[in-house]
Structure 1
């Protein structure tokens, strides 16, 4: 059992807070992949380090913002790589 406060934030609340933190709107396809991944990462942290007390809703907002950025960067990298590969094939 984790010593951190329970995670009570809804998906809509989380998205609103993450968008405020990032200062931008998050496309649905990016959000739909990032949110569950961030929640899963937090669940794993809470299981592996139950003594930590700051794995809470606020931490989830920050973790999700980072996950959104990481996912967007991965999408960009994959698209750029596909474009380079296609250009070389011509």
Structure 2
């Protein structure tokens, strides 16, 4: 069975920023952290026998979620700019 997740939000953010090598904007963090925690909860529910779903795994999962969310934001902004340019 996987160990309990004990990492606080502040510690998680510090470790994710260290892993990524840059600061994460608050607006991005507020959307990414709960989503990553929810994804981990689902993984733990679906596969309770896996023992490596721990705090370190959450750091890596959250870093990926931050990247994915930032890319989605970038893509949406670029699409909106393109649509606005076509509307002129």
User: Normalized against structure 2, the TM-score is what?
Assistant: 1.00
Counterpart in the other structure of 2:6: 8
Cα displacement string for residues 56-86 of structure 1 (whole angstroms, at most 9, x for unaligned residues): 0000000000000000000000000000000
Deviation at 1:18, TM superposition (A): 0.1
Which runs of structure 2 are paired with 1:1-90 in the superposition (5 Å)? Answer: 3-90=1-88
Question: Hey, which bits of structure 1, 4+ residues long, moved more than 6 A?
Answer: none
**Gaps spanning 5+ residues in structure 2: where?**
none
How many residue pairs get matched?
Answer: 88
**Two-structure CA RMSD over aligned residues (Å):** 0.2
1:49 & 1:74 partners in 2: Cα distance?
28
**Gaps spanning 5+ residues in structure 1: where?**
none
Cα displacement string for residues 25-62 of structure 1 (whole angstroms, at most 9, x for unaligned residues): 00000000000000000000000000100000000000
User: Normalized against structure 1, the TM-score is what?
Assistant: 0.97
